[in-house]
């Protein structure tokens, strides 16, 4: 027997509350679930006379995937939708709102094989030098941002949220909170530590000027003396990698890809790199082994007399 019928919107709200309050998922994850389940409700409302979840079949769910495909949604977006629907139905089945789970047989779509965008050593060096060559915004802060992104491999959101109290002795490492609210330690290069120390001197002066002693916990600030957001960091990277700078546009995530590629190319164990990146699954980290193989093939083709055709 299963529980008394509840409307799909009611179950969606309960599911989202569970993910936030019990599983402690991030706001971004909750927002993604909300968008996908809203889409599920929109599509099924046009085909279902009964608004209860128990009436939704596997055929209905496949029809939803078909609608998304006709809307030219990317395979990654469609698979995210499928994952959200699967988790939602699994929750409802577990707690007795439905007697069977039609989403169990809902298959994901095939993703195209994509090599993550990464920078060469020369491109990284050129970008890290841009704040000194063309001080478009705040030289010491921007150099520290670039060096820490590259030497730590952390996500842009993690760097934006990093607090002064998270920094280790000598500023050579930091304890940060990543996806799933999991803590991990990241490490900074000697150049990164030097740039960070230079920036922190100016940071202190800025706070004394703008905040009248008010304590700001985040390490990286904007020129107004308030915390720099992930969006702000993306803007900074885009300025220095645009026509004003290197003219090779990249995102903050390119530093993370480059970090992983460099570590694996230099022989680091994939499980060590997984830990440093904060990946929950090693399969995510193993994407970068394809990058290093691609590099080897390219080097071979360019260097060996019979390497290319």
From 62, 179, 184, 290, active-site residue: 179
User: Which of 10-14, 40-44, 100-104, 145-149 bottoms out in mean pLDDT, i.e. has the lowest?
Assistant: 40-44
Is the same domain home to 101 and 138?
A: no
Q: In total, how many domains does the chain have?
A: 2
CA distances from 37 to 23, 100, 214, 229 (A): 18, 19, 42, 28
Is the same domain home to 145 and 261?
A: yes
pLDDT digit string, tens, across residues 171-194: 999 998 877 778 888 899 999 999
Q: Considering the domain boundaries, does residue 129 fall inside one?
A: yes
Question: Of the residues 105, 137, 166, which one is the last residue of a structural domain?
Answer: 105
Whether 34 sits among the annotated catalytic residues: the reply is no
Is the same domain home to 56 and 145?
A: no
Is the same domain home to 205 and 99?
A: no
Is the same domain home to 96 and 222?
A: no
Q: Return the pLDDT at 177.
A: 85
- Cβ atoms of residues 45 and 56 within 8 Å: no
Report the chain's mean pLDDT, rounded to a whole number. 84
Q: Return the pLDDT at 1.
A: 47
Q: Return the pLDDT at 120.
A: 84
Q: Burial, 217: exposed, middle or buried (Cβ in 10 Å; 0-12, 13-18, 19+)?
A: exposed
Is the same domain home to 91 and 133?
A: no
Whether 256 sits among the annotated catalytic residues: the reply is yes
From 234, 253, 287, 290, active-site residue: 253
Other CB atoms within 10 Å distance of the CB of residue 147: 23
Q: Who's near 34: CB < 8 A, 6+ residues apart?
A: 12, 16
From 39, 141, 143, 256, active-site residue: 256
Residue 52 sits in a domain of what CATH number? Answer: 1.10.150.130
Is the same domain home to 87 and 193?
A: no
Range of the domain at 25: 8-105
From 39, 141, 155, 257, active-site residue: 155
Residue 269 sits in a domain of what CATH number? Answer: 1.10.443.10
Higher per-residue confidence, 211 vs 9: 9
Is the same domain home to 164 and 232?
A: yes
Question: Of the residues 76, 105, 134, which one is the last residue of a structural domain?
Answer: 105
pLDDT digit string, tens, across residues 29-88: 899 899 999 988 888 776 655 567 888 889 889 988 998 989 988 888 899 999 999 999
Backbone angles phi, psi at 183, to 5 degrees: -85, 145
pLDDT digit string, tens, across residues 136-172: 899 999 999 999 999 988 889 999 999 999 999 899 9
pLDDT digit string, tens, across residues 238-275: 999 998 888 888 889 889 888 888 888 777 777 888 87
Give residue 91's pLDDT band: very low, low, confident or very high (50, 70, 90): very high
Whether 288 sits among the annotated catalytic residues: the reply is yes
Q: Considering the domain boundaries, does residue 286 fall inside one?
A: yes
Q: Considering the domain boundaries, does residue 197 fall inside one?
A: yes
Q: Considering the domain boundaries, does residue 114 fall inside one?
A: no
Q: What DSSP string runs through 123-164?
A: HHHHHHHHHHHS-SS-HHHHHHHHHHHHHH---HHHHHH-BG
Separation between Cα atoms, residue 103 and residue 56, nearest integer Å? 10
Q: Return the pLDDT at 236.
A: 94
Q: Who's near 15: CB < 8 A, 6+ residues apart?
A: 33, 37, 87, 88, 91, 92
Q: Return the pLDDT at 294.
A: 64
Is the same domain home to 136 and 264?
A: yes
Whether 210 sits among the annotated catalytic residues: the reply is no
Residue 233 has pLDDT above 70, yes or no: yes
Q: Considering the domain boundaries, does residue 113 fall inside one?
A: no
Q: Return the pLDDT at 293.
A: 62
Residue 306 has pLDDT above 70, yes or no: no
Q: Considering the domain boundaries, does residue 308 fall inside one?
A: no
Question: Of the residues 105, 129, 151, which one is the last residue of a structural domain?
Answer: 105
Separation between Cα atoms, residue 216 and residue 296, nearest integer Å? 46
Kindly state the helix (H) or strand (E) to which residue 82 belongs, with its residue range: helix 75-94
Residue 196 has pLDDT above 50, yes or no: yes
Whether 179 sits among the annotated catalytic residues: the reply is yes
Q: Return the pLDDT at 199.
A: 96
pTM: 0.62
Q: Considering the domain boundaries, does residue 150 fall inside one?
A: yes
- Cβ atoms of residues 270 and 301 within 8 Å: no
Whether 304 sits among the annotated catalytic residues: the reply is no
Is the same domain home to 208 and 64?
A: no
């Amino acid at each position: 027997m299963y529980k008394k019928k509840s409307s799909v919107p009611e179950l969606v709200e309960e599911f989202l509350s569970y993910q936030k309050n019990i599983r402690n998922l991030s706001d971004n994850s909750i927002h993604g679930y909300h968008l996908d389940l809203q889409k599920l409700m929109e599509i099924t409302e046009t085909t279902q006379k009964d608004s209860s979840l128990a009436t939704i079949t596997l055929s209905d769910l496949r029809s939803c995937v078909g609608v998304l495909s006709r809307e030219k949604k990317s395979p990654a977006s469609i698979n995210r939708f499928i994952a959200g629907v699967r988790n939602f139905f699994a929750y409802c089945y577990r707690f007795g709102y439905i007697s069977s789970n039609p989403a169990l047989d809902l298959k994901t779509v095939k993703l195209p094989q994509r090599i993550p965008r990464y920078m060469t050593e020369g491109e990284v060096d050129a970008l890290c030098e841009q704040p000194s060559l063309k001080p478009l915004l705040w030289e010491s802060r921007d150099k520290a941002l670039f060096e820490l992104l590259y030497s730590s491999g952390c996500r842009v959101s993690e760097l934006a949220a990093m607090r002064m109290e998270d920094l280790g002795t000598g500023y050579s490492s930091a304890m940060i909170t990543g996806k799933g609210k999991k803590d991990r330690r990241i490490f900074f290069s000697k150049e990164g530590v030097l740039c960070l120390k230079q920036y922190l001197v100016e940071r202190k002066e800025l706070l004394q000027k703008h905040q009248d002693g008010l304590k700001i916990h985040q390490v990286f600030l904007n020129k107004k003396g308030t915390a720099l957001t992930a969006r702000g960091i993306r803007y900074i990277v885009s300025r220095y990698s645009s026509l004003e700078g290197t003219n090779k546009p990249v995102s903050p995530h390119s530093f993370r890809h480059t970090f992983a590629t460099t570590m694996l190319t230099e022989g680091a164990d994939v499980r060590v790199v997984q830990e440093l990146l904060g990946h929950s699954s090693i399969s995510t980290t193993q994407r970068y082994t394809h990058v290093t193989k691609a590099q080897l093939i390219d080097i071979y083709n360019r260097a060996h007399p019979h390497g290319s055709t």
